[in-house]
Structure 1
Amino acid sequence: MSRTWLPTEQYAETVMKATGFACVFFTDEHDRPLQLRAVYSTTHPWQMAGGTMDPGERPWQTAVRECREETGIDVSGPPRLLAAVFGQPGQEWPFSTMGLIFDGGRLTDTQIRGIVLDPDEHDDARVLSLQEWESLMPARDFARLEAVLEARLTGTATYFGTWDWEQD
């Protein structure tokens, strides 16, 4: 049986389309996660510092840039991966989503008070216990947060493959 190989341009039209993102996960010194409240999303109201990759960027570059833009915090490497995240497309977003979440470490109270939010993106930054976050987040966002915190606490990166774009 012989195969017929498509020209690159034709083959590219047949494969899955995806957007990439990268985030930085912070906690306070008591391992309570820091989350930012998005002004532009009711679907994902509380988020980690991060965002969509720009063309030509690598995930760590995206995480560092987005964190600086959204919080004023400059993170430095080496990058420590906590999670790989995948989501299927849905009505809200027509592409699959693939992202990496990096460990930003534990912030002091002074560092947390010094966060400078970009008002076009976020209007609040909170540090809460995992239990307190559960009632404020959609189930899939909370499950992702829980998995990322577990990865941080155990030192074992996680794969979170169910961050789909369908409604909870």
Structure 2
Amino acid sequence: MTGRRDYYHDPNAPTANSLVPAAAAIITDDHGRVLLQRRTDSGNWSLPGGAMDIGENLQQCAIREVKEETGLDIEITGLLGIYTDPAHVIAYADGEVRQEFTVTYRARVTGGTLAVSDESSEVRFIHPAEFDGIPIHDTVRLRLRHHAEGRDALHLG
């Protein structure tokens, strides 16, 4: 897998040269499973989401990215947190090294049909008991843990 490499609290990480606002969504079903996609660029399971486009707000970004990456329509129901840890950088093949800046929303499905995109090899709802057995980056595990804790306070960090 090529195209992207995540570094997290890694002293050998390259220095960030960009900062791009992004949005992601925690979407659960009636059984408590969380919608995840297996990324084609890293092989890791991740929350659907991506970079904000000019002319949209972050909620619109989350809704658009989920539709593009999973085929599902969603409604934002809340905010899990703002994740901006400068110790998480993402290096891309084109030389961009992006510092994390992701607002993660809570959401529910309102329509659509589950489907993979060119960014994913698989998309499905996964029970939290399975998380330890699949490749998930530490920063996504942090968000999944915050969700599982059912915390009232937003994560700001």
Verify same fold: TM over 0.5.
Answer: yes
1:31 Cα shift? 1.6
Aligned to 1:85: 83
Give the TM-score of the pair, scaled to structure 1. 0.67
CA drift at 1:122:
1.0
* Structure ranking higher in helix proportion: 1
| AA at the equivalent of 1:94 | V
Note closer, same or farther for the CA distance 1:40–1:95 as it changes in structure 2 (3 Å cut): closer
CA distance in 2, matches of 1:91, 1:81: 23
Structure 1 residue 47, shift from structure 2 partner: 1.2
Q: Which has the higher strand share?
A: 2
My pick for the range that moved more, 66-75 or 138-147, is 138-147
Q: TM-score under structure 2 normalisation?
A: 0.72
- Aligned position for 1:156: 153
1:97 partnered with 2:105: no
* 8 Å CA contact retained: 1:20, 1:99: yes
Which structure has the greater CA radius of gyration? 1
Report the CA distance shift for 1:128/1:41 in structure 2 as closer, same or farther (over 3 A): same
The one-letter code matched in structure 1 to 2:100 is: T
Runs of 4+ in 1 over 3 A off after TM superposition: none
Aligned pairs, number: 135
RMSD across aligned positions (CA): 2.6
Q: What CA distance in whole angstroms lies between the structure 2 residues aligned with 1:39 and 1:90?
A: 18
